[in-house]
Structure 1
Amino acid sequence: MTDIFDLGETPVEEPDQPAPKRRRSRLVITLLSVTAGLVAILVGLGVAFGIYAGNLASTYDAKTDKITNAFPSGNRPEATKDGAKNILLMGSDSRGDATSIDSSKASDQRTDTMMLVHIDADRKAVWVMSIMRDLWVTIPGHGEHKINAAFAYGGSALTVQTIEQLLDVRIDHVAIVDFQGFEGMTDALGGVDVESPSDFTARGQHFTKGTNHVNGEQALKFVRERYSFANGDYQRVANQQAFLRAIVDKTISKDTLTSPSKITDFVGALSEYLSVDDSLSATELAKLGVSLRGVDKQDVHFFTIPTGGTGTSADGQSIVLQNSLDMPGLRSALGSDSLDSFEPASE
């Protein structure tokens, strides 16, 4: 299977499974920080927009797939008592059938980009942590592997179990989005402005250092590229975060919020290629959005899970190592809802 941000690259090894049905990407953070906020804002505007908001909610509920068996059974970290939320954002290359995904089963899908969204209990900040796809972890029941293999071995449930074990926090919701939805939502916004740290060319598309206005097709090339950079996946993760910042900026701009057609197109484009756990309904998103109404773009913070550089596994795979010095502090900060005070000890 190919990395869906790297179409045409060398296929990933192991395990052999049935072919995917449809392609999928992973830029799902917009669902929570953007779509939920839009629905919530419309609901908050009152009766005049009640029908319109209801239509958006109906579109979301009707078009999104529901993931069955999204969470592991057995012992899990306790849910937070203070109201903080942790949402796992994933992507793979198959959306499953049109009505349901049994995500506890093995497949040939790999979540080559994962992000953990932590929403503070006081709803004053949102933290988006990228998890390197080659991070070397213990996958319950399968030994040590790259973290993106968890979905291939046991779907959403095993991926959640792996990350809960890694971070010692409970995952409250899961969401996955197809790359066609990513293209559609970008184009629905009229394109976005991304900041590139350098000049580079990806699949025939040239990007200049500084601001680049991109449509959906161009944005995919921007976030997929890694071979143009000496630090490969690390810069690709940084570019993905830059793109998500651009999506958030454009979606909460006056130009978008005052355009019902843009909002409708955005929600429709995203929902059609979206899969969520069965508790993440439009009503739940609206509630979450209302609680986040005071959050502005400067309150959304992006960072990458602390790593200890790269290495090689016993069987010859190139891997990313965990930072044993910083991980205890990260677990503590997530568990105590204090990411604002987390400072990597290794820096």
Structure 2
Amino acid sequence: MSTVEDERDGVGQLLAPRPAAPAGPRRRRRGGLVLALAAVVVVALAAAAAALWSSVPAVGHLGDPFSSIPAAERPAVATAAGRAQNILLIGSDSRANGDGEDASAAAGAPADQEADWTRGGQRSDVLAVLHLSADGRSAAMVSIPRDSWVPVPGYGTTKVNAAFSYGGAPLAVRTVEQLTGVRIDHVVAIDFSGFARVTDALGGVRICVPQAVSDHLGTVQAGCQVMDGQQALTYVRQRKTLPGGDFDRERRQQNWMRSVIAGATDRDLLGDPVKLTAVVRELASSVRTDDGLGEPQLLSLALAHRDLRAADVTFLQAPLADPATGTEGSQSVVYLDTAAGAQLWQALKDDDVASWVGAHPGAALGDTVR
């Protein structure tokens, strides 16, 4: 069979309904090709692009971030996890510095400048572990606050977002694996500025805001509204006027991701080739993956998670200490609760996030986000 025929067959499998789960009733799911922003929108839509339109540019790569890490330093894979996958998400707003200012504009850089994913190019604004369950029917994204004060191999204790700047994706992987004990299978880097164009390609996303918020970046009105890419960027860049500062900003980022998944699923992108092509084209210019996450692997992940939709993705934050913030020298930092965190990371290792969430019902991202 030719490659084109193989790809068409793969898309046919994506469109075909999955057999019902053996335990318990479950409503029929559609739109699972649009898995989870940050990686699964990345994973699934990139797979669709490879299978349907050879004219769509391929997703760029970061190299092999695992080859330089000594095998003895890497966490073992828990038997209970089976075929579950853990993807490290590294997010950057290439036009904004740590305070949400438009840094590139001030430096004379073009407004649509892509993120610099080379070592030392920048610090990561977003760091999260995306866990894809072994049965393909759920996912969990655990965000690690960018100012978390953690050990970074070779650099002592510093902010977690410095790891990418100091050593690129390999050091980011080593740092997160050492912090969590969770073995990372793949890496996906996301440029949020480019992701705004994905939002536009979708025709906007619906986001509800409980109270109007204004600052130097603009005003986000209260109420449920369909935001375009620029409005969504303002929404996730605000922090100084939010009660929880960076923590609220992080929740807004997760809420945007959730809204993109929901919007793509509701629109049934697989049934709209023109819109799907536009979304994937913008996505391809906004993400980078490790070398091991090529078209065959992307298609395989998309097939395994074709039933997943927004309601199946749980958004969490690494547990915080009390107090959660402080200073180290001249730096404002975030302290993590290592004991509580160990329980959450063990749940990921065991592919049993649902039990942890059940024991911590207030931990997941709620319906209302400031």
Quote the Cα distance in structure 2 between the aligned partners of 1:31 and 1:179: 10
Quote the Cα distance in structure 1 between the aligned partners of 2:44 and 2:77: 23
Contact 1:90-1:177 within 8 A present in 2 as well: yes
Q: Assess, with a 3 A threshold, how the Cα gap between structure 1 residues 171 and 220 changes in structure 2: closer, same or farther.
A: same
Residue 117 (structure 1) shift: 0.3
Residue 169 (structure 1) shift: 1.0
The letter of the residue matching 1:332 is Q
Q: Assess, with a 3 A threshold, how the Cα gap between structure 1 residues 276 and 58 changes in structure 2: closer, same or farther.
A: farther
Quote the Cα distance in structure 2 between the aligned partners of 1:301 and 1:280: 23
Q: Assess, with a 3 A threshold, how the Cα gap between structure 1 residues 285 and 131 changes in structure 2: closer, same or farther.
A: same
Partner of 1:140: 153
Three-state SS of the structure 2 residue aligned to 1:321 is strand
Partner of 2:225: 212
Q: Assess, with a 3 A threshold, how the Cα gap between structure 1 residues 66 and 80 changes in structure 2: closer, same or farther.
A: farther
Contact 2:65-2:170 within 8 A present in 1 as well: yes
Residue 29 (structure 1) shift: 4.8
Q: Does 1:66 align with 2:61?
A: yes
Alignment of 1:1-347 (within 5 A): 29-30=36-37, 32-38=39-45, 54-56=51-53, 59-61=56-58, 64-71=59-66, 72-74=68-70, 75-79=73-77, 81=79, 82-92=82-92, 93=94, 95-96=115-116, 105=119, 107-203=120-216, 205-254=218-267, 256-308=269-321, 309-342=323-356, 343-344=359-360
Three-state SS of the structure 2 residue aligned to 1:252 is helix
Quote the Cα distance in structure 1 between the aligned partners of 2:343 and 2:42: 32
Quote the Cα distance in structure 2 between the aligned partners of 1:321 and 1:202: 27
Contact 1:312-1:319 within 8 A present in 2 as well: yes
Three-state SS of the structure 1 residue aligned to 2:161 is helix
Greater shift in the superposed pair: 115-124 or 72-81: 72-81
Task: Calculate the TM-score normalised by the size of structure 1.
Answer: 0.80
Contact 2:50-2:295 within 8 A present in 1 as well: no
* Matched residue count: 301
Q: Assess, with a 3 A threshold, how the Cα gap between structure 1 residues 318 and 282 changes in structure 2: closer, same or farther.
A: same
Three-state SS of the structure 2 residue aligned to 1:246 is helix
List runs of 5+ in structure 2 lacking aligned partners.
1-34, 95-113, 364-370
Quote the Cα distance in structure 2 between the aligned partners of 1:184 and 1:129: 24
Quote the Cα distance in structure 1 between the aligned partners of 2:336 and 2:188: 25
Contact 2:36-2:258 within 8 A present in 1 as well: no
Q: Assess, with a 3 A threshold, how the Cα gap between structure 1 residues 152 and 194 changes in structure 2: closer, same or farther.
A: same
Q: Assess, with a 3 A threshold, how the Cα gap between structure 1 residues 197 and 35 changes in structure 2: closer, same or farther.
A: same
Quote the Cα distance in structure 1 between the aligned partners of 2:162 and 2:41: 29
Percentage of pairs with the same residue: 34
Q: Assess, with a 3 A threshold, how the Cα gap between structure 1 residues 257 and 276 changes in structure 2: closer, same or farther.
A: same
Greater shift in the superposed pair: 302-311 or 114-123: 302-311
Quote the Cα distance in structure 1 between the aligned partners of 2:232 and 2:176: 28
Task: Calculate the TM-score normalised by the size of structure 2.
Answer: 0.75
Moved over 3 A (4+): 35-40, 55-58, 92-96, 202-205, 254-257, 343-347
List runs of 5+ in structure 1 lacking aligned partners.
1-27, 43-51
Residue 77 (structure 1) shift: 1.1
Partner of 1:3: none
The letter of the residue matching 2:89 is L
Q: String of CA shifts for 1:256-295, please: whole Å, max 9, x gaps.
A: 3422111000000010132110011122111101111122
Q: CA RMSD in A?
A: 2.4
Quote the Cα distance in structure 2 between the aligned partners of 1:263 and 1:345: 35
Quote the Cα distance in structure 1 between the aligned partners of 2:172 and 2:193: 23
Residue 181 (structure 1) shift: 1.9
Residue 254 (structure 1) shift: 3.3
The letter of the residue matching 1:285 is L
Quote the Cα distance in structure 2 between the aligned partners of 1:346 and 1:126: 18
Contact 1:167-1:331 within 8 A present in 2 as well: yes
Quote the Cα distance in structure 1 between the aligned partners of 2:278 and 2:128: 25
Q: String of CA shifts for 1:75-122, please: whole Å, max 9, x gaps.
A: 2112455111000111244645xxxx6x5x4x1410121121001111
Q: Assess, with a 3 A threshold, how the Cα gap between structure 1 residues 31 and 306 changes in structure 2: closer, same or farther.
A: closer
Residue 173 (structure 1) shift: 0.6
The letter of the residue matching 2:90 is M
The letter of the residue matching 2:43 is A
Q: Assess, with a 3 A threshold, how the Cα gap between structure 1 residues 39 and 158 changes in structure 2: closer, same or farther.
A: closer
Contact 1:70-1:277 within 8 A present in 2 as well: yes
